Structure 1
Amino acid sequence: MSAFFHICFSVLLLLSSPLLVKSLSPSLNDDILGLIVFRADLQDPEGKLNSWNEEDDSPCNNWVGVKCNPRSNRVSELILEGFGLSGKLGRGLLQLQFLQKLSLARNNLTGSLSLSFTQLSNLRVVDLSENGLTGSIPSDLFSQCGSLRSISLAKNKFSGPIPESLGSCPTLASVNFSSNQFSGELPVGLWSLSGVRSLDLSDNLLEGEIPKGIEGLSNLRAISLRNNKFIGEVPDGIGNCLLLRSIDLSRNSLSGKLLSTMKKLSLCNNLILSKNGFIDEVPEWIGEMRSLETLDLSENNFSGQVPESFGKLQSLKILNVSKNALTGSLPEGISKCVNLLALDISHNSFTGNLPSWVFSLGLEQVWFSDNQLSGSVDNAFGSSMENSRKKLVTLDVSQNKLSGEIPSGVGDFVSLKFLNLSRNLFLGSIPGSIGQLKTLNVLDLSDNHLNGSFPSEIGGAISLHELNLEKNSLEGNIPLSISNCASLMSLSLAHNEITGSIPTSLSKLTYLQTIDFSFNKLTGSLPKQLANLVHLQSFNVSNNQLQGELPAGGFFNTIAPSSLSGNPSLCGAIVDRNCPTVLPKPIVLNPNSTDDTAQGTIPQSFGRGKKILSISALIAIGAAAAIVIGVIAITVLNLRVRGSTSRDAIALTFSGGDDFSQSPSTDGNSGKLVMFSGDPDFSTGTHALLNKDCELGRGGFGAVYRTMLKDGRSVAIKKLTVSSLVKSQHEFEREVKKLGKIRHPNLVSLDGYYWTQSLQLLIYEFISGGNLYKHLHEDSGENHLSWNERFNIILGAAKGLSHLHQMNLVHYNLKSSNILIDSSGEPKVADYGLARLLPMLDRYVLSSKIQSALGYMAPEFACKTIKITEKSDIYGFGVLVLEIVTGKRPVEYMEDDVVVLCDMVREALDEGRVDECVDGRLQGKFPVEEAIPVMKLGLICTSQVPSKRPDMGEVVNILELIRSPLESQDELGDF
């Protein structure tokens, strides 16, 4: 143990000053001290350094990642690549005076590079790539770099300029500072590093011109300045770096012409100049760079024709001249580039036919899209040799003027994964040989003049992910064999003449995300099994001849009505068209029957020649009658108690607080007043307790009045107008006391109650800011709610409702008039839990009494077999969200139309018309990145099937996630 304490004491000395270690006992190994101190600054979650034992005499035997010089028995290499280490680079490394190679790549190290490696005079290789190191590089880091030959700081987060001292490292052969945030201009001294063979400064923020004098890098083999902000011309001195094999200057703002001095680079394999601003014609001298394997001149401003000299590039494998202004035909000489694997001439203005040699070279990738190529492709396809056909993986000749039929020989390209012949003039039928392409992932034949049937052989292309045949003149049915394409994710047959029904087998394609069958002649009903496609995101069957009921569940709960339009016989809630009632047995109406007792007949007393009502009409009339009878019954019951209620109200008005008793008496003349806290006495001022002038509003349960307590505090009193339906006093008080215990910042608190047999009052805290309905629909001018205020109201209401659901309370009556706004703008949910004060009611009566505001009622209220749960509140909340964002009522009656808010928003979002959804009074002063997800959340909450709606706890979490990014973005300002 004494040795262990000796080490610990030495470590402390080392941390304070490395020089003091020299005074320690020579028996103590400096390398062990250094490594132990180095490990102390690290976290090792995977235990990779467990073998580092400070009790060992030497780290050279079994310490993982440590290598030693066998002669000196001192640490020469520390290689900890991919160990999952985190922490910072500690000073312990400076004790490893014989260290030659340090590699800590692919870890999670953080902090700045504060160590001065100049103290390690033997260090030759430093690799700190792929970590999280930050900050700027100290200006003197490389002032005395000794024998350093290779340094890599790639893929970190370093910033600031590249230090000028880097030019003081004459032995450097490899410099890699790529994928950081270095900025500023290149240090001129960099070009004095005559020993550098590889220089990679790509993917940074470096700017200015590339300094002249690059010829000083006489040993340079590879240079990459890709993806920076360099401007100006390429310095002509680059042609004197005769050993260069790879040049990547892409993704900058370089300009001017390519200098002919570059033709001297006869050893160059890769010349990548894409995404710059180079001009003029492509130089003929490029053909002199005989060693080129990759030539990328794409996305520049080159014009003219491709030089015939390109045929001399016998080693060329990749040629990319896409996205320029090139014209003419491809030179025949390119057919001599026998090693060519990828050819991209897309997005130019090339003319002529598709060259016949393209498919005989054995190319793997061919991109010819967006040119002016014309004529038939028969010769090109027919010229390909068998071996060449097996190599082609990608063929894109889209957006040209190619014509004629698609040759059946396309099926011979058995390795094809991507085939795009779209936006041409192809005609005739789709060859069945397409089914031979077993590896094909994408097939796009859209926007041509193809006709004939949709070939059943398509089922042979079992690897298809995307199939696009839209905008043709295809006929016939959708083949059942399409179900064999089990990996299909996108299927578009829009704008054709396809007939028949949608096959049920389509539901077997479980990965489908997008289906577009619009503008065809499809008939029949939509298979119910389509609701099982769990990944479906878009389903468009508009403008067909489909009929029947929509599938229920899944994606179809939130489908946009526009995706179903133009099918007048489709029915269901989404298309706002009732489906005919289906009864177990048909009812036969026989007006000629004389047997009044016969089953299913109508007596003669109905009379001949009169119009007989349909069964669905009779059912509808019966349901309507039931609702009317229920409403009348409640009204009559209320009228019976109105007289006694009025008398109690008058007594309250003039007797003041003294007549209220807290005794358990149920005598109608005395009543029972209970306050959960505070003074129970009311003020006896000029405003009576239930004075008509103090009425705040009326709802489904009763009228609300404002009055004051003796302490000057205002309260709101709700006089229940459903007195005859209220439970017994015992049950009433039990439920009210439960409500009185609920406290939440976003819920209106119940402070007390008053009870007699004929009058019941609920006493609430008074909220001064009015209700949300008035703020949304009655305020005008500058008083409208801002986006922040609207979002806070949505979030606050969600939190309040979530708390109710945690207490197992269903609100039943959520709407904008039941959201009150206090003086600080905080929303408070009101009128919750009142349904619990009533005995069980028929849900039609409950709907008419409680869900009085049209548009908020969940669809399950219309179905007796579905239980009313918290999910019904969530539907109303979803409508409320859309009302707050749009400023529109849930249902609005136009001159000759009825607009349902959910449908309007769903359709507008589906078509990308976001600005039309958000309240116009905001005039664009809202963050789109918040508005869109909030509206989508509202639509999810209004799903037709209750189980598809989220819980309120989940809603709160989603809203907080939507809002959290905004808090760190000052530039968005105050919305």
Structure 2
Amino acid sequence: MRNLLLYCVFFLVFFPLLAISGVLNDDVLGLIVLKADLQDPTSKLLSWNEDDDDPCGWIGVKCNPRTNRVTELNLDGFSLSGKIGRGLLQLQSLRKLSLSRNNFSGSLNPNLSQLESLWSADLSENNLSGSIPDVFFRQCRSLRSISLANNDFSGEIPPSVGSCSTLAVLNFSSNQLSGRLPSGLWSLYGLRSLDLSGNSLSGDIPMGISRLYNLRAISLHGNRLSGRLPDDIGGCLLLKSLDLRGNLLTGSLPETLQNLSMCSYLSMGSNSFSGDVPVWIGEMRSLETLDLSSNWFSGQIPDSIGQLQLVKRLDFSHNGLTGSLPESIGTCKSLLEVDFSQNSLTGNLPTWIFESGLQVISISGNKMSGFIQIPIATDETLKALDLSSNGFSGGIPVDIRNMHGLQFLNLSWNSLSGSIPASIGELKSMQVLDLSGNRLNGSIPPEIGGAVSLNELRLQKNSLTGGIPSQIANCSSLTSLILSQNNLTGSIPPTLANLTNLQTIDLSRNRLTGTLPKQFSNLPHLISFNISHNLFSGDLPAGNFFDTIPNSSVSDNPGLCGSIVNRSCPAVLPKPIVLNPNSSSPDHSSDSAFSPGSLRHKKIILSISTLIAIGAAAVIALGVITITVLNIRVRSSAASQSAAPLALSDDYYSHSPGTEANSGKLVMFSGNDPDFSAGAHAILNKDCELGRGGFGTVYKTILRDGRPMAIKKLTVSSLVKSQEDFEREVKKLGKVRHPNLVTLEGYYWTPSLQLLIYEFVSGGNLYRHLHESSGSNLLSWQERFDIILGIARSLAHLHRFNIIHYNLKSSNILIDGSGEAKVGDYGLAKLLPMLDRYVLSSKIQSALGYMAPEFACRTVKINEKCDVYGFGVLVLEIMTGRRPVEYMEDDVVVLCDVVKGALEEGRVEECVDGKLGGKFPVEEAVPVVKLGLICTSQVPSNRPDMAEVVNILQLIRCPQDSSEEELS
């Protein structure tokens, strides 16, 4: 600190005199002052010595050899931290400044652009924050390239950016910038590259972009831009790369795009574009990448795609495309990757699929059928082939051996039959083989061991017979071996225990016999081992993973013994008898299990079990009769109440101008009910109120066709966006369909009245089930687990479409008639003009306790991890039966803190809801509670993604709990 003060005094007081006398070089002084402001943990700047006559020999410094003035400063990746000080302003000959990949913090010095010679500044990948100063661009001199990418800048892009007429490269990507695109951007006539991706920019893309006649590349992906693409975008004739993926853009693609004859990269994925894929797309002859994935395109794939002779990658996945794959694609000689997955394509596999030199083919999730036919002379370039979830039939072709370079093969969930060809073992590069969910029979060929590079082998849900071939042990890289739900017999080959990379083994639901190899306990990476529903016998391996294996993973094996299955193993004489400290039998005799007392005890247990089974059957029968009677009464009551169609009453319309009743717009997304496409009549009765929430009041009504509906009248009309923005957001929510989401069926709009029309869910909300139910209405352990998993799946689905719920709480989780969880009120905050603290505080007060701590910080970007936090609180609420926040007389109890304290004291089991009466599997309940705590971590980056949460829950789940579902 003392040296820093001395340098500052020296700089401010004595520098003018010293400069005149030439005692000290200006650049030496400036760099020493810069160094004084920095922390240099790796001593990279050790060579910077104030006693030197000039800095030209210092690391990271380059000088003009004639004047010895600094022209370039490159400190990339030096691990420096601190603020970028004013010492840089002394480097009057500096042309290139590069400080990327450090830990610089603070704001951007607006005077930096005053350096007359500076033409390139790269401050990317630091921790700079605050807004970008408006004055920075008003006073720029010769600046041609500026990169502030991968920092924490916030606020709007300053309008003055259009004043820096010398700019050729502008990169503000991966920050927290918001607001609209300033129209001044289109005044930068010399601009060649524009990258504003990975921010939160919103609004339309303004007209005028065609004025950027020098533009070569533009990237706006990962924002919230909306509206249609401007028609004049085709005027940027030199454009080579256009990346708009991951926005909210709508409408059809403008025809002017076909004028971009030099464009090689066109990415429009993850938007809401609609209509047919345009025929003129074939005119963009320079295209190498064409990405139209995750939109609403429909119709057939045009034959004109065959004109794209330079295209290497085609991605049309996740649309609504129909028809067959056109043969013309086979003429695209440069094509390497195609992805047509998740559409509604039909027909057979075209011949060009295996004859065009493709490296990656994905056609999963369509309606294609016929045989899979592989030509004898097949290109060896194919690396990945995914034909899963279609209707392909016949056998797996023997000529699969010709694809020598194949690394990924997924033929799962088709109707393939016959045996697995031995030639599959000739694929030496194969890493993933998934043939699950077919009708394959015969034995697993021993030759499969020839696929020595296998990481994953999935053959579950077939009709395979015979034993597990020992040759699988040749696949030394194997991490997952899934052979469940077949008819396999015989024992487990001991050689499988040599596969030290194994993490998952699932042999459940077969007819395997024998004892388990003791060497399995030595597998260092094993995390899941399931042999349930087989005929294994003997003791389980001991140690490591098997010390904590859940009972569900070994259940329904009558011959297994040991402490895990609560069945003592018979001693083997003449070896000495060693008492098992985990044994449940108090008798020390080796034959105590066969003593008369033991037999009498078994008979008592058997008779009690029989009585319990009979009693349970009687209770179930009585319940069925009771529910049937209640249903008949409810239906007759509902019929009497809804004999005539319900309508919006005159009293209801009295709250808005008299013309609104006739001018409102009603849209039903199903599009197949003309009775409800012309107005708002017959959809709401205000007397049938179901409840009130932060965003509105919910009513139940009966449509003319007899369907019950839930109508949400939004109570935030004064804050709702314009009709165009409202309809765009609602239509986006209407597209998101999932079994665990309440389906949005339509909407009604007038300027002062907005209604959302949802499916009606009959079982009430989760809050009532947890906190207001008793007796037979209490949620069982299995019901609670299914609800948690259903919520997780729905959130993972929302996040896949970049939709954040924002308002998770137990009252927004509905339970349908079959006990399935359905998440409601998702994405409603996006209907408001902006997601600000007013919305969060005044409209979601009832979510107190579920809100992530980052909501309180204005500088933190709200993202999917906020939903993960709310999900974690929900998990703890479901597991404990307690509210997230409970108010006592002298204290406020936060549920997360209570459970965390119990975990630290080793008494997690005590937190589980006492209403369950101890009827829950501890080996499942404890991991679920721990998962809930992980999701409520105070640090967002420590929380898992919802897709990861789903995978974890599926690993925790007991197989017998879902046996009926798996066998269906």
TM-score (norm 2): 0.63
Match of 1:535 in 2: 525
How far the C-alpha of 1:56 sits from its partner, in A, is 1.1
Of 172, 178, 193 in structure 1, the residue corresponding to residue 167 of structure 2 is 172
Tell me, in whole angstroms, the C-alpha distance in 2 between the residues paired with 1:309 and 1:237: 23
Q: Name the CA shift for 1:55/1:255 in 2 (closer, same or farther; >3 Å).
A: same
Tell me, in whole angstroms, the C-alpha distance in 2 between the residues paired with 1:456 and 1:339: 38
AA aligned to 1:273 is M
How far the C-alpha of 1:888 sits from its partner, in A, is 7.7
Q: Is the 8 A contact 1:562 1:907 kept in 2?
A: no
Q: Superposition pairs for residues 300-315 of structure 1, below 5 Å? A: 300-315=295-310
How far the C-alpha of 1:197 sits from its partner, in A, is 0.4
Q: Superposition pairs for residues 897-916 of structure 1, below 5 Å? A: 904-907=921-924
Match of 1:398 in 2: 388
Q: Name the CA shift for 1:90/1:340 in 2 (closer, same or farther; >3 Å).
A: same
Tell me, in whole angstroms, the C-alpha distance in 1 between the residues paired with 2:317 and 2:514: 47
Q: Deviations over 1:783-831 (max 9, x none)?
A: 99999588767777888xxxxxxxxxxxxxxxxxxxxxxxxxxxxxxxx
Tell me, in whole angstroms, the C-alpha distance in 2 between the residues paired with 1:359 and 1:450: 23
Q: Is the 8 A contact 2:908 2:926 kept in 1?
A: no
Match of 1:509 in 2: 499
| 1:27 and 2:27 aligned | no
Q: Superposition pairs for residues 695-844 of structure 1, below 5 Å? A: none
AA aligned to 2:50 is E
Q: Name the CA shift for 1:201/1:965 in 2 (closer, same or farther; >3 Å).
A: closer
| 1:56 and 2:52 aligned | yes
| 1:93 and 2:88 aligned | yes
| 1:135 and 2:138 aligned | no
AA aligned to 1:66 is V
Q: Is the 8 A contact 2:92 2:115 kept in 1?
A: yes
Q: Secondary structure at the match of 2:592?
A: helix
Tell me, in whole angstroms, the C-alpha distance in 2 between the residues paired with 1:36 and 1:907: 61
Match of 1:358 in 2: 353
How far the C-alpha of 1:369 sits from its partner, in A, is 0.5
Q: Deviations over 1:355-388 (max 9, x none)?
A: 111111100000010111111112xx11643xx1
Q: Mean alpha-carbon deviation: is it higher for 357-366 or for 577-586? A: 577-586
Q: Is the 8 A contact 1:405 1:426 kept in 2?
A: yes
Tell me, in whole angstroms, the C-alpha distance in 1 between the residues paired with 2:310 and 2:576: 81
| 1:882 and 2:885 aligned | no
| 1:929 and 2:929 aligned | no
| 1:12 and 2:9 aligned | yes
Q: Secondary structure at the match of 2:232?
A: helix
Greater C-alpha Rg? 1
Of 548, 558, 561 in structure 1, the residue corresponding to residue 538 of structure 2 is 548
Q: Is the 8 A contact 1:317 1:342 kept in 2?
A: yes
Q: Is the 8 A contact 1:316 1:337 kept in 2?
A: yes
Any gaps of 5 or more consecutive residues in structure 1? 588-612, 623-775, 800-876, 893-898, 919-926, 934-961, 970-975
Q: Superposition pairs for residues 433-832 of structure 1, below 5 Å? A: 433-584=423-574, 615-617=591-593
Tell me, in whole angstroms, the C-alpha distance in 2 between the residues paired with 1:544 and 1:784: 56
Q: Superposition pairs for residues 851-862 of structure 1, below 5 Å? A: none
Q: Secondary structure at the match of 1:133?
A: strand
Displaced runs of 4+ in structure 1, greater than 4 A? 5-11, 16-24, 617-622, 781-799, 907-910, 962-969
Tell me, in whole angstroms, the C-alpha distance in 2 between the residues paired with 1:191 and 1:495: 62
| 1:375 and 2:392 aligned | no
Q: Name the CA shift for 1:298/1:553 in 2 (closer, same or farther; >3 Å).
A: same
Tell me, in whole angstroms, the C-alpha distance in 1 between the residues paired with 2:512 and 2:232: 68
Q: Secondary structure at the match of 2:514?
A: coil
Q: Is the 8 A contact 2:909 2:926 kept in 1?
A: no
Q: Name the CA shift for 1:788/1:10 in 2 (closer, same or farther; >3 Å).
A: closer
Tell me, in whole angstroms, the C-alpha distance in 2 between the residues paired with 1:462 and 1:289: 44
Tell me, in whole angstroms, the C-alpha distance in 1 between the residues paired with 2:887 and 2:54: 79
Q: Mean alpha-carbon deviation: is it higher for 390-399 or for 559-568? A: 559-568
How far the C-alpha of 1:255 sits from its partner, in A, is 0.2
Tell me, in whole angstroms, the C-alpha distance in 1 between the residues paired with 2:3 and 2:591: 99
Match of 1:597 in 2: none
Q: Secondary structure at the match of 1:142?
A: helix
Q: Deviations over 1:438-460 (max 9, x none)?
A: 11111000011111111111111
Q: Name the CA shift for 1:254/1:797 in 2 (closer, same or farther; >3 Å).
A: closer
Q: Deviations over 1:23-72 (max 9, x none)?
A: 65333211111011011111222222112111111112x11111112232
Tell me, in whole angstroms, the C-alpha distance in 2 between the residues paired with 1:141 and 1:410: 62
Q: Deviations over 1:914-957 (max 9, x none)?
A: 5xxx8xxxxxxxx9622x89xxxxxxxxxxxxxxxxxxxxxxxx
Tell me, in whole angstroms, the C-alpha distance in 2 between the residues paired with 1:8 and 1:403: 80
> Equivalent pairs: percent with the same residue?
56
Q: Name the CA shift for 1:310/1:115 in 2 (closer, same or farther; >3 Å).
A: same
Q: Is the 8 A contact 2:110 2:133 kept in 1?
A: no
AA aligned to 2:354 is F
| 1:285 and 2:261 aligned | no
Tell me, in whole angstroms, the C-alpha distance in 2 between the residues paired with 1:253 and 1:420: 32
Match of 1:651 in 2: none
Q: Secondary structure at the match of 2:545?
A: helix
Q: Name the CA shift for 1:65/1:480 in 2 (closer, same or farther; >3 Å).
A: same
AA aligned to 1:87 is G
Q: Secondary structure at the match of 1:36?
A: helix
AA aligned to 1:398 is S
How far the C-alpha of 1:502 sits from its partner, in A, is 1.1
Q: Name the CA shift for 1:26/1:782 in 2 (closer, same or farther; >3 Å).
A: closer
Q: Name the CA shift for 1:248/1:783 in 2 (closer, same or farther; >3 Å).
A: closer
Match of 2:411 in 1: 421
AA aligned to 2:487 is E
Equivalent residue pairs, number = 647
Q: Secondary structure at the match of 1:309?
A: helix
How far the C-alpha of 1:884 sits from its partner, in A, is 3.6
Any gaps of 5 or more consecutive residues in structure 2? 578-588, 599-879, 944-968
Tell me, in whole angstroms, the C-alpha distance in 1 between the residues paired with 2:86 and 2:576: 91
Q: Name the CA shift for 1:68/1:542 in 2 (closer, same or farther; >3 Å).
A: same
Cα-Cα RMSD: 3.3
AA aligned to 1:139 is D
Q: Name the CA shift for 1:17/1:485 in 2 (closer, same or farther; >3 Å).
A: farther
Q: Is the 8 A contact 2:19 2:25 kept in 1?
A: no
Of 183, 192, 214 in structure 2, the residue corresponding to residue 197 of structure 1 is 192
TM-score (norm 1): 0.63
Match of 1:252 in 2: 247
How far the C-alpha of 1:508 sits from its partner, in A, is 1.1
AA aligned to 2:527 is Q
Match of 2:139 in 1: 144
Q: Name the CA shift for 1:782/1:551 in 2 (closer, same or farther; >3 Å).
A: farther
Q: Secondary structure at the match of 2:225?
A: strand
How far the C-alpha of 1:414 sits from its partner, in A, is 1.3
Q: Is the 8 A contact 2:4 2:33 kept in 1?
A: no
How far the C-alpha of 1:574 sits from its partner, in A, is 1.7
Tell me, in whole angstroms, the C-alpha distance in 1 between the residues paired with 2:941 and 2:527: 31
Of 196, 203, 211 in structure 2, the residue corresponding to residue 208 of structure 1 is 203
Q: Name the CA shift for 1:366/1:785 in 2 (closer, same or farther; >3 Å).
A: farther
Q: Secondary structure at the match of 1:302?
A: strand
Match of 1:345 in 2: 340
Tell me, in whole angstroms, the C-alpha distance in 1 between the residues paired with 2:97 and 2:339: 43
Q: Secondary structure at the match of 2:221?
A: coil
Tell me, in whole angstroms, the C-alpha distance in 2 between the residues paired with 1:967 and 1:264: 44
Q: Mean alpha-carbon deviation: is it higher for 220-229 or for 400-409? A: 400-409
Q: Name the CA shift for 1:793/1:581 in 2 (closer, same or farther; >3 Å).
A: farther
Q: Secondary structure at the match of 1:271?
A: strand
Tell me, in whole angstroms, the C-alpha distance in 2 between the residues paired with 1:792 and 1:276: 41
Match of 1:843 in 2: none
